[in-house]
Structure 1
Amino acid sequence: MDPRTSAQDVMRCDLCETAVVQMHCDTCLVNLCTACVGKHMISDESKKHEVVKFQARKSTPLFPKCKHHIKERCEMYCNQCDIPVCTSCVASDKHLGHKIVKILQVSDERRNKIMKDITELNETIYPTYQDIASDVQNRMSQLEKEYGDLSTAITKHGEDWHREIDKLVKKLKAEVDEMKNTQLQTLQKHLDEINKTMSDIKDEIDSLEMVTDTNDLSKLISVTLNVNLYSNLPNKMILSLPKFTPGTIHEELVKLFGTLSSSSLTSDKHGYSMKTTQKSPEAGSSPPVKQLLDEPETVTTIKIDIQAVYSLISSQLYNVACLSDEEIWTSGNDYTVKLYSINQGSLLKSITTKSGNVPWDIAVTKSGDLVYTDINDRTVNIVKNEKIEEVIRLQNWKHLGVCSTSSGDLLVIMYSDDYKQTKYVRYSGSTEKQTIQFDDEGKSLYSSGSYNKFYITENRNLDICVSDHNTNAVVVFNQAGKLRFKYIGHTPVPKNQPFIPRGITTDSQSHILTADINNDCVHIIDQDGQFLRYIDCGLSGPWGLCTDTNDNLFVAQQSNKQVKKIKYLH
């Protein structure tokens, strides 16, 4: 075996091709043995050969050749012209008065920027794309399951109708399969694009890492940085599944067997965010699909003790918030917030507000702490270990509704002292993160007036839902503040009275539930604003709402000062 061509042989001199490499010319990028160094030095005397030990190769900067002075290297850099320059260039009038710096300084800054970009690509952007790809795959798997559930429901209902409706069953199943395939194809295309981008990012990382390892400053300076291109995350695909609504057996089989609502697959520009240490609610698996009960049922009723602050005003119950599946916080027109046992109906704890004012709204944070708003004191307060801490204090504005989000932020709806403005604000602790007041046309999303009653909550899909008493509407907008829809009620209603919303909450199915105090009922709409049904269960003046982890609904009734626990989902 020829030792010079053996894969296991040591590196040989590029000139004699026999002796072991000991030296290296950083100028010519040639490997040399000690005997050939002199020969190489005189081979091209026009160059300034930088010969170093082989182990120290690439340690000598390889300055770019000057485009205007062929025999010179550019050891300086003109900031105004943004080009490398040699000493002859500096001496010329062309760069007179320009700021000239050492090119090594520029290359070091560029190298540091590249290293930061590599770190961002490796540690943030690429992992985010991995999470997005995993999310899309999970959604595709869930899509298969939920469409399978739809097919099963249709089949089961079809068995009750026997042979005369087989044709209709097949037709509806074909529609389900067509919808499923359409959405799967769209998601697969979306996933392919994400995987392609991930591959491009890896190529970008490899390319940048090669550049940072070279001593060729021309390559280092001329490299194109594309990290901003990949920082623009893809739109998130939002699924809307069809619903199968079974009917009763009748002569008009086609109409009464059941209908399949349309499906949709939309793109949300703000659906994804860069990877952080916190997981969003969408990161987990989707909750099991639950169906609405034909007849909601009252599980238990809890009597709440309210002592009105003013003797001339009757005591009233306003709010309820779930601490757990066993305990609820309540508040009314007195200066306390009370904790009750759901199963026993007994009072467990009573917290007096810091200012002695009536709390307007209450909520429970992810960590289980109580939050309440104080309009007269202009504060939002949090109760930790029975100690009250002021979190937010306003000037020229007053807090109304409050809720705690899945990310731990506080959402607050508030109005100005002159009653002319209303806005939503997102807080992280006491820091204001986002304010939304107007729609795309510059019009206020919410009403204004002297009699303001607003409540706010976050849906599972991260939409923000606000009940607006003045316009008798539920206003829903996405995380970016873009208005999605307004719900203004449904007819007929139990008492044929105008829709007047009060408390608002959501459940695991992304249903939106709002109390209608004028009709003694609760409206249930889906995440796109479509009416689903009413819950009445003998309600009297429903005001505050909340749901527990099992999707039981708790309704605070204003006039009789009772909280009803209602089961409305299978």
Structure 2
Amino acid sequence: MHPRRSAQEVLLCDLCETVPLQSHCELCNINLCVNCAVKHLSDSSKRHKVVPFLHRKSTNYHKCPDHTDKHCEMYCEKCNIPVCSTCVTSGKHKGHEISDILEKLGAKTESLQKDLEELETRIYPRYEGMASDVETEKAELERKYGKLTTDADEQGEILHREVTAIVNRRKSAIAKMKTKHLDALNKNTDEITQKMAELKQIMSDLKSILKSNDVSLTSTYKSRNSEFRTLPPKVRATLPSLSPQKINKDQLNEMFGSLSPLSINTEHGDTMKSAEAVSSPPVKPLLDEPRVTATATIDTGYSRLFSVSCLSEDQVWTRGNNKTMKLLNLQSKLLTSIQTKSGNEPRDIAVTRDGDLVYTDTKTINLIRNKQIQTVITLRGWIPRYVCCTAANDILVTMISDDGEQYKVVRYSGSTEKQSIQFDDQGRPLYSSGYYKYLSENRNLDICVADYGARAVVVVNQSGKLRFRYTGHPSNTKQSFTPFGITTDSQSHILTADFNNHRIHILDQDGQFLRYIHCDLESPWGLCVDIRDNLFVAEWVTAKVKKIQYL
């Protein structure tokens, strides 16, 4: 047995080594006295599990394969195997670093615990999200391929209608030619019939004269034979003919329209960083009294101010109640101004990771690069409202249907739609049908929407699954919770502007209320944070931007 664990001695705390032990940490596999147990549990970086010493899990020592009467109570770091005391004294492990097997077990147990925690909280949920995404894509497959089939049918109907129209025009022309031909033949027939009637009358008169043998009639007869020897004109017409062209199948196929090939690419899966690699940023505690940074109130010049988006620590883009978007510094100096392409008031603005400006218009989502406006997305049936740019440089947009009845969040990569978030697992709408819905992506990739119509902050995970709804803090307020602008910071805090109550709510990433920011705010509307976690607040009434330090 280990000398400090001999039954002949009082068992002491492994940390202070002076006070008898009373507890045992199963994660670290160490024994603790009362005071050391309290200190040990204060380390929040690990999920320590401290139990009474008598309730600890027993340690099954491994029998030494070389010395069957011995247990492996030590560990050779160089050979990476458990060893017994005889192995150590035999010289086989001479010069090797030998450690206590329980200490090694504790380290290994901690490593296993970290692996389990990472698998449960980070890796497996990503696989779940991927599986859910594939199922969603499969569900969409029927709809999209059905639309392709419908499009093919519609194109076929268009070609059929064109062919039928051509056939009908040809048949109409044939009928007109036939009528004209018959009219000509009927006229010819009438002329011949008239001549025949005259000839019959002359022949009848000649017979009567010859029969009467009357000198007077015979002497007065005048012959008309020479007149009738010239026959009436005969109508001759060349029948029309149809000369069909040989059908060129290639041209016909081209007229129908081409079908792009199916492209299936298997992309290499993203390699997730380990929990250590994705270490949390330096912890920045919240200030007891947030404060407006001196000389950092920006006068935007609008009569009403709605949105603010950080380009840098000392430059912000702003959107007010006209068609012009302004880039201002902390001294309120106008650096750049750009008008919307349509001449309409922009709905919202956001800055990409590359420093370009994105804005939403009546039916379009537009990108401004080097002062040139490019329309990247045009919508049908939906109106884009509020926008944010993600860590992956995607664009998230809240949008409302033309009839005002539906609301959804859509993720775009460039101009390609990647994700649509509208319903929860029970098929119920995640968002109200009201207009105001600013949004932001949190550090943990949650999508946070300030749903003014629902009086709630609605948070879904990266896959679009509902995580929680925050409906305000139950403290006394004069007005109900009215969330407008929303943003997140490096600590995964969620900050939302409570317009009617003139303050900002700070939540943790799980929706727990932390505190308010007041700072004499007047009708706060839009929010953003810079890379140093300074908060910029757009005040609707004063049309000013306040820079606030709260961490």
TM range (shorter): 0.5 to 0.7
- Structure 1 pair 177/481, CA: closer, same or farther in 2 (3 Å)? closer
Structure 2 letter corresponding to 1:550: R
* Whole-angstrom CA distance in 2 between matches of 1:461 and 1:537: 28
Deviation at 1:399, TM superposition (A): 0.5
Q: Which of these residues, 356, 379, 383, is aligned with residue 368 of structure 2?
A: 383
Amino acid at match of 2:357: L
Distance 1:527 1:186 in 2: 29
Find the aligned partners of 2:525 and 2:40 in 1 and give their Cα distance.
42
> Which whole-Å CA distance do the structure 2 matches of 1:171 and 1:566 have between them?
38
From 84, 92, 111, the equivalent of 1:188 is 111
CA apart distance, 1:448? 1.2
Determine helix, strand or coil for the equivalent of 1:474.
strand
1:72-83 map, 5 Å: none
Distance 1:176 1:529 in 2: 24
1:304 paired residue number: 300
Does 1:467 find its partner at 2:458? no
SS in structure 1 of the partner of residue 121 of structure 2: strand
Question: Retained in 1: the 8 A contact 2:423–2:429?
Answer: yes
- Deviation of 1:238 after TM superposition, in Å, equals 4.7
Cross-structure match for 1:567: 549
Q: Give the TM-score taking structure 1 as reference length.
A: 0.53
Alpha-carbon spacing, 1:419–1:554, altered in 2? closer, same or farther (3 Å): same
| Partner residue in 2 for 1:131 | none
- Three-state SS of the structure 2 residue aligned to 1:286 is coil
CA distance in 2, matches of 1:403, 1:270: 25
Equivalent runs, 1:277-292 vs 2, <5 Å: 284-292=278-286
> Cα distance, 1:501 vs. partner?
0.4
User: How far apart are 1:189 and its partner, in Å?
Assistant: 3.0
Matched ranges for 1:34-53 at <5 A: none
CA distance in 2, matches of 1:423, 1:440: 15
**1:293 paired residue among 275, 278, 287:** 287
2:341 alignment partner in structure 1: 354
Instruction: Work out the CA distance in 2 between the residues paired with 1:436 and 1:189.
Output: 36
- The partner residue of 2:389 within 388, 404, 411 is 404
Q: Identify which of 463, 467, 482 aligns with 1:480.
A: 463
- Find the aligned partners of 1:517 and 1:177 in 2 and give their Cα distance: 36
Please give the per-residue CA displacement for 1:198-233, whole angstroms capped at 9, x wherever unaligned: xxxxxxxxxxxxxxxxxxxxxxxxxxxxxxxxxxxx
Gaps of 5+ in 1: 1-165, 195-233, 240-265, 307-314
Say if 2:504 is the partner of 1:492: no
**Structure 2 Cα separation of the partners of residues 358 and 182 of structure 1:** 58
Residue 324 (structure 2) pairs with residue 336 (structure 1):
yes
What corresponds to 1:435 in structure 2?
420
CA-CA distance at 1:519 after TM superposition:
0.3
Give how far 1:419 is off.
1.0
Alignment of 1:205-216 (within 5 A): none
Q: TM-score, normalised by structure 2?
A: 0.55
Q: 1:448 to 1:366 in 2, by over 3 A?
A: same
Q: Distance in 2 between matches of 1:390 and 1:169?
A: 63
Task: Please say if residues 236 and 270 of structure 1, whose CA atoms lie closer than 8 Å, have aligned partners that are also in contact.
Answer: no
Q: Mark the CA change 1:471 to 1:521 in structure 2 (over 3 Å): closer, same or farther.
A: same
**Partner deviation per Cα, 1:29-70 (whole Å, 9 max, x = no partner):** xxxxxxxxxxxxxxxxxxxxxxxxxxxxxxxxxxxxxxxxxx
Relative to structure 1, the CA distance from residue 478 to residue 277 in structure 2 (aligned partners, 3 Å threshold; closer, same or farther) is: closer
- The question of 1:548 aligning with 2:530 is answered yes
Q: How far off is 1:401 after superposition?
A: 1.0
Partner amino acid, structure 2, of 1:171: V
Aligned partners of 1:175, 1:316: CA distance in 2, in Å?
A: 49
Cα distance in 2 between the residues matched to 1:334 and 1:178? 50
Alignment of 1:59-74 (within 5 A): none
Q: Please list every run of 5 or more consecutive structure 2 residues that lacks an aligned counterpart in the other structure.
A: 1-32, 51-106, 132-266
8 A contact 1:507–1:547 mirrored in 2: yes
SS in 1 for 2:388: strand
Report what 1:142 is aligned to.
none
Q: Distance in 2 between matches of 1:193 and 1:275?
A: 25
Conservation of the 8 A alpha-carbon contact between 1:500 and 1:516? yes
Q: Which residue of 2 aligns with 1:121?
A: none
Q: Which amino acid aligns with 1:460?
A: R
One-letter code of the match for 1:188? S
Would the aligned equivalents of 1:236 and 1:268 in 2 still touch at CA under 8 Å?
no
> In 2, distance between residues paired with 1:187 and 1:442?
42
Residue by residue, what CA displacement relative to the aligned partner does 1:215-261 show, whole Å, maximum 9, x if unpaired? xxxxxxxxxxxxxxxxxxx956259xxxxxxxxxxxxxxxxxxxxxx
* Structure 1 residues 485 and 172: CA distance shift in structure 2, 3 A: farther
Measure, in 2, the Cα distance between the counterparts of 1:565 and 1:555.
Answer: 7
* Shift in CA distance, 445/272, structure 1 to aligned 2, threshold 3 Å: closer
What residue in structure 2 maps to residue 531 of structure 1? 513
Matched, 1:448 2:423: no
Structure 1 residue 269: Cα displacement: 4.1
Q: How does 1:85-96 map to 2 (within 5 A)?
A: none
Does structure 1 conserve the Cα–Cα contact (< 8 Å) formed by 2:41 and 2:48? no
1:277–1:548 CA distance, 2 compared to 1 (3 A): same
- Shift of the 475–277 alpha-carbon distance from structure 1 to 2, 3 Å rule, reads closer
Taking only the aligned residue pairs, the percentage that are identical comes to 52
Q: Counterpart of 1:370?
A: 357
Residue 403 of structure 1 and its aligned partner are, at CA, apart by 0.5
The answer on whether the counterparts of 1:423 and 1:436 sit within 8 Å (CA) in structure 2 is yes
- By how many angstroms is 1:407 displaced? 0.4
**Contact (CA 8 Å) 1:280, 1:407: kept in 2 or not?**
no
Which whole-Å CA distance do the structure 1 matches of 2:38 and 2:319 have between them?
Answer: 53
Separation of aligned partners in 2, 1:396 and 1:439 = 22
Instruction: Decide whether the 8 Å contact of 2:129 with 2:463 is kept in 1.
Output: no
Structure 1 or 2, whichever has the larger Rg, is 2
Cα distance in 1, alignment partners of residues 125 and 345 from structure 2: 44
Contact 1:235–1:268 (CA<8 Å) still a contact in 2?
no
Give distance in 2, aligned partners of 1:337 and 1:444.
Answer: 33
What does residue 457 of structure 1 align with?
440
The change in CA–CA distance for 1:433 and 1:336 in structure 2 (over 3 A counts) is same
Cα offset for 1:279?
A: 8.4
| AA of the residue aligned to 2:368 | V
Question: Secondary structure at 1:560's aligned position in 2?
Answer: coil
Separation in 1 of the partners of 2:305 and 2:523?
Answer: 10
Aligned residue-pair number: 325
- Any idea what SS the aligned residue of 1:480 has? coil
